[in-house]
C-alpha cells in the first residue's frame, strides 16, 4: 500500500521537481496552465504545431525564472507523439504530469452537414490524440512512481451546443476516456481527471465573443454573466497536477460560471 503523504505535502500546490507536458501550449488555456505550472516549480515541456509560437511562450516562462522546453508536435500523429515524449524524456528524464489540451473544431453548423473528413480530423486530435499522448507517457509515469493526467474537456461534452455537434461528441468521448483510464491506471498511482471549462476568452472560441451580438447571446447562458479568462482555468489544473489532489481520479471538474446548472435568462 502506498505511503500516506505527510499533512504538509498533501495540501501543497507546489510542483517542485516535477516534469509537466502541456499540449496546445502556444496560447489560451494551454499557455496559462504551462505558465502556472512553471511558477509552481515544474519543468514544463510545451507542445503545439508551431515552433515559433512555442518559443515565445518558453522565453516568457524563462524570463520569469521558470524552466521550459518547446517542442513542435502534432498529436494527431502516432509518430509525432512518440517523438515528442522521447524528446521530453531525453531532456528532462521523464513525465510526471500530462495536460491534454490540444483541440480542433473544423466543422460549424448542423451536424448532418458535416463531412466524414471533419469527423476524422476532430477525433484524431480531440480523442485519439489524447489517448496517444497518455499511452506514450504512462511507461515513464509508472517508472517514476505515478503521475497525473489532466484532460481538457468542455461543457460541450455535457450539453449539446448549436452548430458544434461534432466537437460536442468528441468532448463527451474525452469524459468517458477519463473515467476508463482513471479506473485502469489507478493501480499504477496514475490519476486521470478532466477539466470542463465553459466559455473562455481564447482565439479558439472567438466566434462566441468577438461579435457583440454573439457575445450577448453567450452571456445569457452563463449565470455569472461573463466569459472566463484563460488564467482562471489554470489554478484548477494546478490543483489536479499537485499532491493536493492525491486522492482524486476519474473525476470531472466544471469551471463554467454556472452554465450547466443555470437556466437561460435567469
Q: Which residues are catalytic?
A: 167
CA proximity to 232, closest of 246, 247, 222: 222
CA 87 – CA 91 distance, rounded (Å):
6
What does the block give as the cell for 89? 524524456
Rg of the chain on CA atoms, in Å: 18
What does the block give as the cell for 123? 477525433
End-to-end, the C-alpha distance of the chain in Å comes to 49
Task: Tally the C-alpha atoms within 13 A of residue 224's C-alpha that lie toward its C-beta.
Answer: 12
CA 94 – CA 139 distance, rounded (Å):
9
Amino acid at each position: 500500500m502506498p505511503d500516506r503523504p505527510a499533512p504538509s505535502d498533501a495540501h501543497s500546490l507546489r510542483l517542485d521537481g516535477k516534469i509537466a507536458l502541456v499540449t496546445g501550449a502556444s496560447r489560451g488555456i494551454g499557455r496559462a496552465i504551462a505558465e502556472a505550472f512553471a511558477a509552481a516549480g515544474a519543468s514544463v515541456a510545451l507542445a503545439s504545431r508551431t515552433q515559433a509560437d512555442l518559443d515565445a511562450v518558453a522565453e516568457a516562462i524563462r524570463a520569469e525564472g521558470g524552466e521550459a522546453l518547446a517542442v513542435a508536435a502534432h498529436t494527431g500523429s502516432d509518430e509525432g507523439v512518440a517523438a515528442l515524449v522521447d524528446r521530453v524524456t531525453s531532456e528532462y528524464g521523464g513525465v510526471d504530469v500530462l495536460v491534454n489540451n490540444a483541440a480542433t473544431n473544423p466543422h460549424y453548423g448542423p451536424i448532418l452537414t458535416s463531412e466524414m473528413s471533419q469527423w476524422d480530423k476532430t477525433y484524431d486530435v480531440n480523442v485519439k490524440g489524447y489517448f496517444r499522448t497518455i499511452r506514450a507517457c504512462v511507461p515513464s509515469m509508472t517508472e517514476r512512481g505515478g503521475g497525473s493526467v489532466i484532460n481538457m474537456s468542455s461543457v460541450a461534452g455535457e450539453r449539446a451546443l448549436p452548430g458544434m455537434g461534432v466537437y460536442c461528441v468528441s468532448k463527451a468521448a474525452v469524459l468517458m476516456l477519463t473515467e476508463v483510464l482513471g479506473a485502469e491506471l489507478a493501480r499504477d498511482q496514475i490519476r486521470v481527471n478532466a477539466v470542463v471549462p465553459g466559455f473562455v476568452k481564447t482565439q479558439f472560441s472567438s466566434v462566441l465573443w468577438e461579435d457583440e451580438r454573439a457575445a450577448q447571446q453567450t452571456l445569457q447562458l452563463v449565470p455569472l454573466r461573463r466569459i472566463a479568462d484563460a488564467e482562471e482555468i489554470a489554478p484548477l489544473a494546478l490543483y489536479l497536477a499537485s499532491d493536493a489532489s492525491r486522492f482524486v481520479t476519474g473525476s470531472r471538474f466544471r469551471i463554467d460560471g454556472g452554465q450547466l446548472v443555470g437556466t437561460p435568462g435567469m
